[in-house]
A and B are shown apart, each in its own frame.
Chain A
């Protein structure tokens, strides 16, 4: 799952992550993503932190409460030390500052997949 309220992020990451062999679902509305999280266990969730009404930390908490095995990768354009520490303390797999290249995120997703025991080819 990729959740980011900026359309361009989903549009860019979907094909990039498909190259790893991932099935990717993209969302721009956290509430819609929440509904999907209730019904499906994703291996990896990539979520923005600062979004309208629901923030990425709430997404992280909800995902791990429902699916403890899921690896959650936090992305943000407003990275700060305390924000990164808080996310990691709450169980995030990694914290990545924007801007990043599709290759950068592919590498993080590949690490998360390896951590889950389902290694993917980085291409």
Chain B
């Protein structure tokens, strides 16, 4: 069975769509609140920090890039682990970005016309149009940031989604029906390859989460337990960095061997030579 990720625009009825799709498919529903809580518990960080990393647009005085990368690594690892069992609907803003290349993940985006979203903000949450508009702009900025950050694509790039549904002129039951039909399509059936890909992704993200304190930009590739880690470090620290990574990565469940590739940090090396 497949996995459905639902990324929705505010006030487009995405949460309701996800909940009812899970019911109709008899899949478990995983909301981003649960993922945030589990990631916070597992990695010993504050939940509001994770929320901030995910939802607040970057700003000069906001969270540093390194801290944001660390928090996202924790979320990604938690989400990948939670979805190792299929038959799930995940409702969260960036599920479609966090699980790339898994054939049985159906990436749904739920949106609505701006006027319909503003109307729902007013009628359901009592928000005046000016505040709702500000919130929509902020959300859009955040989405563009993460899409560019995580996959170097524009937020509207067609390849990011398998199904884009505008709920303006559809009722929720019709939207859910479209998702149910997609889930029944063999195109999204799990395969040995797609399950391995998800397991590989889960291992890569677990290892990355274990290493982001050493290098927030660390890159990890895993194949059947064999892990290759790429890190940028000044030449003088290469040996120590390698040893640290070896030790940390080897302790992660499922890792059978670790290979570390140190890319020289030329700028630091030049700065050091000029001192």
Contacts and interface: CB of A to CB of B under 8 A. Distances in A.
Interface string A42-86: 000000000000000000000000000000000000011100111
A84 B191 contact: yes
A97 B193 contact: yes
B196 interface: yes
Contacts of A37: none
Interface string B71-108: 00000000000000000000000000000011100000
B260 to A, nearest CB: 23
B123 interface: no
A14 to B, nearest CB: 20
Q: How large is the interface on A (under 10, 10 to 19, 20 to 34, 35 or more residues)?
A: 10 to 19
Interface string B156-199: 00000000000000000000000000000111110111101100
How big is the B interface, by class? 10 to 19
Nearest to B224: A99
B188 A95 contact: no
Contacts of A95: 103, 191-194
Nearest to A105: B192
Contacts of B189: 88
A44 to B, nearest CB: 14
Most buried by B among A80, A85, A86, A104: A85
Contacts of A81: 101-103, 194, 197
A24 interface: no
Contact of B192 (A85, A89, A91, A104): A104
Interface in B98-140: 101-103
16 contacts: A79-B193, A81-B102, A84-B193, A85-B188, A86-B187, A88-B186, A88-B188, A88-B189, A88-B191, A89-B185, A89-B186, A95-B192, A96-B192, A96-B193, A97-B192, A97-B197
Interface of A: 79-81, 84-86, 88-89, 91-92, 94-97, 104, 108
Interface of B: 101-103, 185-189, 191-194, 196-197
